Amino acid sequence: MEVPVLKQGQFLIATVQAALTDEDLIQLRIALVERVVVARSRGVIIDVTSMDVMDSFASRTLREIAQMIRLRGAATVIVGIQPEVAFAMVQLGITLEGVVTALDLEEGLAYLNQAFKNDS
Amino acid sequence: MARGNERQEKVSVHSIVRGAETSPEPIGVLLRELVAHLRENRTQLREEWARRITEAQLLTAMSKDEIFAEATAVYDQYVEALETGTFEALQAYARSLSERIIPRGVETHEVVGIVLLLRDVLARSLFAKYQADFTKLNRILDAYEPAANRIANTVAVGFVQERERVIRQQQEAIRELSTPVLQVRERLLILPIIGVIDSQRARQLTEQLLRGIRTNRAKVVVIDITGVAAMDATVANHLVQTVEASRLLGATVIVTGLSPEIAQTLVTIGVDLGKMNTVGDLQGGIEQAERLLGYKVIPIAATTYDESTKRV
């Protein structure tokens, strides 16, 4: 299932749905990096509000996405991790080390706007 | 009823030994006779019982009228249980009675006491009625005693179960009270922890905090543990997890008030202190939080009003 990616000015917003397979995650990584290049985006928001479980593969893929996007000079923010999911993740020792996280879309955009303002 | 037959067996042997001419009645008949007697003499037996309760100085937390009202209900339930041989109604009544009287401070020994007194009062009235016929009295008691014991048991157990339920409820309430999540500024939460934290409380704390972060859209949380004397490695790990989970929701955590003992524990278990943002005391923690959020606090006295420019 393809993850919808929308363009919002200088930023891209990818909204993840509930049941995401490993394949879907890899596709997302490929698609996002490509779109960042084509649209010359300065930032990407990945909204995982609908994700009710985050396993180690998902976490690793998200970290990879952030690293690859940073190599393109852009920032990534993961938003919308649910309290229950966050709780389960820390218990399993799954961290999103080195990845910026924010509460929701609004916060994510605020962060990117701030970072973008600081850069220019 | 098997038990009944057993009794009949025993009773027949009993009457043969005694040389009684009359054939023994079945248990059912005896019970009905018993119940009829108790209903007929309801008023005076109930009064006698209420009198004995006051004499024994039980249910002092309740007024005379209340005692009489409850005594009436209990008496009727008692007789009903004797009559039907079923105890569900009595159990339900015992629980509802307990629910009413436990908050009034009525103790277990009082409840057991009054039920036993009723048992005595009814037994005495049976002695009085059947004193001329010892054999008959024995048979009536054979019917009465097991049922009366079961009733006492049911009421006592019902009372104790209700007490346990109340205690559990209170424990839950205390736990909730002890970990309030407080918003002190826009986007700033404080979680003051006091007392002993065990794993369960730590987990509950984390859940409450994460929910609070989402509800209040907090960007900074100050967790103050001044009121926590010590923490074992497990709970310290819970604290670290709480910090990490909060970050996943986009909030920064500042931990304040670490005692020397807790600082030692954290170092010993090898916590990555780079991950933990700590400040000595709550005041310092709030000040740092405000800085992170872009607040600046200026005392009013320090500002001076410039008359010429009409500005502060």
Give B24-67 pLDDT, tens digit per residue: 677 788 888 888 998 999 999 998 998 899 899 888 888 888 88
Are residues A71 and A43 in contact, defined by beta-carbon separation less than 8 angstroms? no
- So what CATH class is B2-173? mainly alpha
Which strand (E) or helix (H) includes residue B193? strand B188-194
Residue A103 CA to residue A79 CA, distance in Å, equals 5
A102–B244 C-beta distance less than 8 A: no
- Closest-CA residue of chain A to B237: A91
Quote the tokens at residue B236: 């310290």
Residue with token string 């497990």 = B234
Which residues on chain A are in Cβ contact (under 8 Å) with B271?
none
Q: Is the pLDDT of residue B187 over 90?
A: yes
CB atoms B248 and A91 under 8 Å: no
Interface list for B 241-270 with A (CB within 8 A): 241-242, 244-251
Q: How many domains does chain A have?
A: 1
Chain A CB contacts of B212 under 8 Å are none
CB B286 within 8 A of CB B224: no
- Whether B175 has a pLDDT exceeding 50, the answer reads yes
Q: How far, in Å, CA of B60 to CA of B104, rounded?
A: 10
Q: Which residues of chain A make contact with B211, given a CB cutoff of 8 A?
A: 83
Q: B12 pLDDT exceeds 50?
A: no
Tell me the domain boundaries of chain B.
Answer: 2-173, 182-300
**A79 interfaces chain B, CB cutoff of 8 Å:** yes
Residue B192's DSSP bridge partners are: B224
Higher pLDDT, B228 or A102: A102
User: What integer is the mean pLDDT of B131-145?
Assistant: 90
In a mutagenesis test of the A interface, which of B220, B240, B241, B249 is the best target, namely the one with the most A β-carbons within 10 Å? B249
Domain containing residue A110? 5-119
Q: What is the CATH number of the domain that holds A37?
A: 3.30.750.24
Nearest CB partner across the interface for B245, out of A79, A86, A102 = A86
CA distances (Å), origin B33, targets B45, B75, B279? 16, 17, 80
pLDDT value for B178? 66
Residues of chain B above pLDDT 90, percent: 30
Q: Which long-range CB contacts under 8 A does A108-114 form with residues at least 24 apart?
A: A108/A45, A108/A47, A108/A77, A108/A79, A109/A8, A109/A11, A109/A45, A111/A77, A112/A10, A112/A11, A112/A42, A112/A43, A112/A45, A112/A75, A112/A77
Does 3.30.750.24 match the CATH number of domain B182-300? yes
Task: Quote the radius of gyration of chain A (alpha carbons, Å).
Answer: 13
B149: enclosing H helix or E strand: helix B134-178
Strands A11-15 and A5-8: antiparallel
Condensed to tens digits (0 to 9), the pLDDT of residues B203-216 reads 889 999 999 999 99
The residue ranking higher by pLDDT, B111 or B222, is: B222
| Mean pLDDT confidence for B2-15 | 44
Q: What does the pLDDT look like over A24-66, one tens digit per residue?
A: 999 999 999 999 999 999 999 999 999 999 999 999 999 999 9
CB A65 within 8 A of CB A39: no
**pLDDT at residue B254 tops 60:** yes
Nearest-Cα distance to chain A for B253, in Å, is: 13
Lowest-confidence region among A35-39, A90-94, B166-170: B166-170
